[in-house]
Structure 1
């Protein structure tokens, strides 16, 4: 992996580094170091400067190219808003866009442009980007099936013969994904990398979550509650990302036009065959089985020949449009099956996260029930304590009455104090029992 990084990433020129250090360390006229802030001028010229891209062709060979934004737009026939999705400085949700000559993929760390002949990724030190490049090269170099597609494209073979060969392979049970065109194989590696990354994060979250939740149910503490809160925040963020990938794949599967737009190899072959057909029709015309060379000057051709060429051109364009519509209708099953396979994977990951969220919600409900039970016990204890305080207050009232400064004949009886204590104690017990019976009658306390 380290050798791959050194080979893919170009070294920084020493002149640029020395120039930047000189500018940063140069003092101003007042002797103070200038403000070390954001390089606004550099940010304004980002779109016009050269950027390093990793290019992987259909043979599995990789190289570093440096092109600016406008050159990349013309090269892949993409608008600026599509290239903005690939900028690492911006945070965009996962997106798969099918354009006329390219597929724009933004799936987690994998941000690339896929054409019929190459894959372009922004040069990055991210391990997932390097793993994507390595895996794509391995799949392209281990099989030579892509050469069949490339030879068909170079020689302008018609689509019916190629569809017949693929149907012939399917008859014999050869449904290997290596027989897909180049753009779908690159898209498959991107989908696999994104789904594997999200599934691994979900698995790590599960391994961390279940023991923590079990510990929280046995011991409710501030530390455990804080850990569960952070865990739930990570879960919500990961669920949102997985849901976006799932929705993007589902949206593609539901739209036949978007899937047909992503057949870049077929569109390229159709365009080449259309150009070859124009050249053959322009050079030769077949009338009653005989071929005649077309006149060089259009002025010398009679009006009837121009009408014939126009009618042939209209008929050929109608035939090509009809055949392209039939081809897009018949061949979207390949891409649909590919998307459906990874839709099942990402849906399984989403179900895993949903189950974990339900388990967290059940744990929260259980903790709330426990807290409510403790709160009820405290209320019951407070109620009993208040009742006992009321009963004890009766002794204070009796002591206050007998402590007044007046004489009564009962003070002369030596057993009077005992009778007062006995009567007061029995009265307090009766009053306390009456309160407890009333609380149970009103279901304020458990039976």
Structure 2
């Protein structure tokens, strides 16, 4: 991935005032867009929803995905003449001639615009007016049909690549920030369990779940595109535009003959058949080539997103391991408390037995033993020995049953 840290230069460094739209215009759906053309030039324009729909030939439901007032999952939609991209902070419409990005002061949006301008090189487009129809044996149409292959990535794929790269940078930066905060906190929690640390880990886990869900959505969207060749072919807008130019050239270059001329009709039919055959061949070859290029592009970023997801999965497993360790420690402390309570209960029972004997002889009840001076001493001694023997017997029994540590 390239460096997205380059600042915006020139007229791309827009002031915050450019984002301020009149409330009346906002009520009509007017939004601020950054337009980047194939030459790398950019400027800010204001357009309403219907203007963008007519300009890019998109249905209204696709533009709703770009509405900043709502949170939609990451989506890449290939349409007839445009690509709708909603990847994290990047919300844009890509055509074969321009990119319309929702204007924002977000740093990643500004970096996306700057990086896209840096990578764009002027593309040469076919001008249908420069081709002339000479004869059925002329090579003008043959050269046009055979010369449609593009060696470098077309404009729309460059823009899509920068959008994917920016999304990966956003997700990777947030993952790295989460890791830097999580690992020291988990180590601290493992060494000292406190309510404050538990609350911080709870909030951290909530952020992790949300971030992981977003990364999974981006990965699933890329994987879904890679699984369908037709969807990937829809992303190659340049091929469809060039095919449309060929149709325009062939239609404009068709010979005009007098009405009712059989020879002219047969010639026109033959030319249309030849042109249709070559055009079908060109479409099949260009579609295969376009699908390969789009697949390689998507596969590269699928690996990056999958790596980010693996980091989050590892962090989630580490949190779960820490929680298991905390539960083990708490169970150990709980077991120690139960053992102490058991020993204390046994000792309390022994003392209660000893207290009963002492209480009986402390009453003013006439007994034959109380008249003898040695009776009380022997009774207290025997009662103490019985209590100690009973306590030792219980402790040995608990150790034999492994209810308390040996």
**TM-score under structure 2 normalisation?**
0.88
Deviations 1:62-106 (A, max 9, x none): 112222211211110100011001110011000011100001000
Give the CA deviation at 1:49.
Answer: 3.9
Alignment of 1:112-127 (within 5 A): 112-127=92-107
* SS of residue in 1 equivalent to 2:99: strand
Deviations 1:24-55 (A, max 9, x none): xxxxxxxxxxxxxxxxxx7xx85744322110
Change (3 A) 1:11 1:378: closer
For 1:311 and 1:384, how far apart are their aligned partners in 2?
Answer: 105
1:38 alignment counterpart: none
Match of 2:189 among 198, 203, 216: 216
Please, which runs of 5 or more residues in structure 2 have no aligned partner? 1-6, 132-142
2:89 alignment counterpart: 109
Q: Report if the CA contact (8 A) 1:260-1:332 is conserved.
A: yes
Q: Report if the CA contact (8 A) 1:153-1:269 is conserved.
A: no
Q: Report if the CA contact (8 A) 2:129-2:249 is conserved.
A: no
1:137 alignment counterpart: 117
Alignment partner of 1:10 is 2:18: yes
For 1:10 and 1:363, how far apart are their aligned partners in 2?
Answer: 49
Please, which runs of 5 or more residues in structure 1 have no aligned partner? 21-41, 167-178, 284-293
Change (3 A) 1:47 1:304: farther
Alignment of 1:347-362 (within 5 A): 347-362=306-321
Q: Report if the CA contact (8 A) 1:112-1:122 is conserved.
A: yes
Deviations 1:310-339 (A, max 9, x none): 464355335423431232123311111111
Change (3 A) 1:249 1:12: closer
Q: Report if the CA contact (8 A) 1:56-1:119 is conserved.
A: yes
For 2:16 and 2:113, how far apart are their aligned partners in 1?
Answer: 10
Alignment partner of 1:71 is 2:30: no
Alignment partner of 1:379 is 2:338: yes
Give the CA deviation at 1:396.
Answer: 1.7
Change (3 A) 1:160 1:415: farther
Q: Report if the CA contact (8 A) 1:47-1:69 is conserved.
A: no
Deviations 1:233-282 (A, max 9, x none): 011000001111111111111111111111111111111012102222x2
For 1:432 and 1:385, how far apart are their aligned partners in 2?
Answer: 10
Aligned length: 387
2:174 alignment counterpart: 201
Give the CA deviation at 1:161.
Answer: 2.7
RMSD of aligned residue pairs (Cα, Å)? 2.4
Name which structure has the greater RCO, CA cutoff 8 Å, separation 6+. Answer: 2
For 1:320 and 1:424, how far apart are their aligned partners in 2?
Answer: 112
Give the CA deviation at 1:414.
Answer: 2.0
For 2:18 and 2:294, how far apart are their aligned partners in 1?
Answer: 36
For 1:111 and 1:59, how far apart are their aligned partners in 2?
Answer: 21
Alignment of 1:148-159 (within 5 A): 149-150=124-125, 158=144
Match of 1:325 among 264, 278, 284: 284
For 2:162 and 2:240, how far apart are their aligned partners in 1?
Answer: 22
* SS of residue in 2 equivalent to 1:104: strand
Deviations 1:372-422 (A, max 9, x none): 000000000001111000000111211232233332232122222221121
